[in-house]
């Protein structure tokens, strides 16, 4: 009888451990999901895969930035970009395959809360800062603020 009770308690404890992810596991899963959303964004553009933009970027995207022509010291505000414009850009930006093979795609996830997250990407075109939000359980990029690379001394 004691063995049966102990066995039943052990089974219930094991079921409890595997049935619901712990807070730490969920936080880790969310951080990885945020990183993967940013990876979809950069690889969608790098690899001419607009479907990756469509799955990682919210249709109400706001993308603003500052462009600095290589010969200039001053930055210029770039035109705002919509979701549809980003999808179109991803279809053509590297269509000719001119991107160098070692192009950067350094992703840093700064913070992940229940519904919002922040991240950074260093890419060929410069630095992007992201706000992401969880919509229907899925992390999506909603805001991007970017700039061209700083001028090298």
Q: pLDDT, tens digit, for every residue of 112-130?
A: 999 999 999 999 999 999 9
Distance, in Å, from the CA atom of 112 to the CA atom of 133, rounded to the nearest integer, reads 9
Beta bridge partners of 132: 117, 141
Q: How confident is the model at residue 38 (pLDDT cuts 50, 70, 90)?
A: very high
Q: Could you give all domains of the chain from N- to C-terminal order, each with its CATH number?
A: 24-147 (3.10.450.50)
Beta bridge partners of 105: 123
Q: Residue 77, Cβ neighbours under 10 Å: how many?
A: 9
Return the DSSP state at 81: B
pTM of the model: 0.82
Radius of gyration in angstroms for the set of CA atoms belonging to the chain, rounded to a whole number: 21
Question: Which of 30, 31, 84, 80 lies closest to 53, judged by CA?
Answer: 84
Distance, in Å, from the CA atom of 94 to the CA atom of 72, rounded to the nearest integer, reads 24
Contact assessment for residue 143 and residue 61, using Cβ atoms and an 8 Å cutoff = yes
Contact assessment for residue 61 and residue 86, using Cβ atoms and an 8 Å cutoff = yes
pLDDT of residue 67: 95
């Amino acid at each position: 009888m004691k063995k049966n009770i102990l066995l039943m308690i052990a089974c219930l404890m094991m079921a409890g451990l595997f049935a619901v992810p712990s807070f730490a596991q969920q936080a880790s899963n969310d951080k990885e999901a945020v990183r993967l959303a940013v990876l979809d964004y950069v690889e969608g553009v790098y690899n001419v895969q607009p479907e990756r933009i469509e799955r990682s970027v919210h249709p109400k995207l706001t993308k603003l930035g500052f462009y600095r022509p290589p010969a200039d010291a001053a930055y210029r505000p770039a035109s705002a970009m919509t979701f549809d414009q980003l999808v179109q850009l991803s279809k053509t930006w590297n269509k000719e395959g001119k991107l160098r093979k070692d192009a950067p795609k350094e992703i840093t996830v700064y913070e992940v809360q229940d519904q919002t997250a922040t991240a950074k990407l260093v890419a060929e075109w410069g630095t992007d800062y992201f706000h992401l939000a969880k919509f229907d359980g899925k992390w999506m990029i909603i805001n991007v603020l970017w700039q061209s690379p700083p001028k090298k001394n």
